[in-house]
Structure 1
């Protein structure tokens, strides 16, 4: 892999960024996690930074889901959700992330008896505070774990339609990757209500789940989508239709979706002409952040124009307004032009 140099590091830091695939609960830093464990006196969870680090060691995707669900338990009230939102947004803003569309694992809270109104009140308080303090703009993608079945999706959507604020832009499905076909009806309802279809697919599953997400769920972007590379016809379709794929390399390695970072298909995806965006997914859990994902992309063989392309793809694939997109894309181009001038 390519070594770094100070100009490359400076370029990555200066690059205006958009994050389109990051989970709020998966953005919980160890200090916030430990603060909430202590606040609520929750037994059976780590109590020290060392125990948190061990807690975040993943053998496979199933272990990651187990840890993720356990970690969600520390979020109990509006104040907790606001704290998490402000902390996550501050760390994004420090990486020059200007805008983020953040997944919220809403069903995991509903199933614990926490009303959607509490979740949304907390994250909205945090969003407004983060925008005031740091200038970063946040929007929400409530989701449900697909392995809990279509009823979980229906309950999640009902809660979003009843209590979701205008800052909700889309509807997602994640969790253990199962067949997406059973979710057709709930996605029909979500789209009819004006929500964008933003499912995970092709992360640990194969290309068929991506096809299903596109044809039955009306997916506008695909979360992960790395399994698409096994189907040349799907690759051609994704490229010709300019359907964005929100890719998170470190996440794929940590969950064992990809055996080794050197084997990650990101370079091949760009070579195939796919619209790829770069993302951190669950950054503290995976020991990464968005800046590190750009470093990883460079180490995989991408050059500075490639990194700028990833940043522009993120802007284009977002649900920012047209004027904001033009402004951010121009800033990306200006950073690349400055780097070329040396």
Structure 2
């Protein structure tokens, strides 16, 4: 029997989302709307046919349809509408702060000006304040492309550094170790940007070591396979680094074969600062609360674990101490009432 009281607790719990690819929040309905607005023909007859195409079982198959979907994003208004759709959904899940990745190379390589992307997203981020949501933007590099291409992308971002909190590293992990991007990450750090990278999703623990020791990241995205190396786990715990974990994504992409075997409980038991996030919710079957509920309904996490995960999402955010204090106080006030 479902614990409806725990469902309600998750629904009302203040939280941050730290691992969200804005292009991955493009729902089929909005994709069709934007395609029509921009006179783009999609290879699907209707929304249902497009949703059926989301039946993939590995990272590369997902990325293929992900990049195809991004083709409907052409104008500043498109990026604004994409982001606002996510912010409204996140606010409904009582997300109080969101740090969203965007993949500029996916767009600039199609001839879309960088300023269209950043202007649309940053305008939406400003308007999200009316929803009670603070937002930070993270410029991600595509790891299947060269470091030279990443440098070119970073150069496009320089005039807009006041709107960007950090850089990330995503796309196909295996065969593209973090060390490939050592120089561009050093440059981003010199520019005052925070650093994070996908590591240990499909790639081995060695990739997590590289992300920490070569890129000197401030936060680990995914990090599941860190658990294979006790020395690495102890290091991450000692450094107080946050892991942005994505349960439904892990299941959809077969990082875990069964949600019952998801490592979140083990991460918390070992003292890792894990958080729960939705990654690419339009493709993976749920937003942040859906990810929480996927674990609570299996009995993998309880009320106290949910509180810990929510607190971790605030302490792990790229926020100033004053904003963190406000959000942590909201969590404690909510806990006291429930």
TM-score tier, shorter chain, comes to: over 0.9
Contact kept? 1:252, 1:258, Cα under 8 Å: yes
Mapping of 1:1-342 within 5 angstroms?
Answer: 3-132=1-130, 134-162=131-159, 164-177=160-173, 178-298=176-296, 299-339=298-338
Contact kept? 1:18, 1:315, Cα under 8 Å: yes
Further displaced range: 105-114 or 307-316: 105-114
Change in CA separation of 1:266 and 1:300 when aligned onto 2, cut-off 3 Å: farther
Query: Shift in Å at residue 152 of structure 1?
Result: 2.4
Indicate the SS of the match to 2:163.
coil
Query: Shift in Å at residue 47 of structure 1?
Result: 4.1
* Alpha-carbon separation, structure 1, partners of 2:286 and 2:149: 30
Query: Shift in Å at residue 32 of structure 1?
Result: 1.1
* Alpha-carbon separation, structure 2, partners of 1:319 and 1:179: 24
Q: How many residues align?
A: 335
Query: Shift in Å at residue 6 of structure 1?
Result: 2.1
TM-score normalised by structure 2 residue count: 0.96
Indicate the SS of the match to 1:199.
strand
Indicate the SS of the match to 2:82.
helix
Contact kept? 1:305, 1:336, Cα under 8 Å: no
TM-score normalised by structure 1 residue count: 0.95
Long gaps (5+) in structure 1: none
Say what the alpha-carbon RMSD is for the aligned residues: 1.3
Structure 1 residue ranges, 4+ long, deviating more than 6 angstroms after superposition: none
* Alpha-carbon separation, structure 2, partners of 1:296 and 1:235: 25
* Alpha-carbon separation, structure 2, partners of 1:135 and 1:192: 32
CA shift digits 1:193-241 (9 cap, x unpaired): 0011111111111101000000011111011000101111101100111
* Alpha-carbon separation, structure 1, partners of 2:146 and 2:161: 25
Query: Shift in Å at residue 4 of structure 1?
Result: 2.7
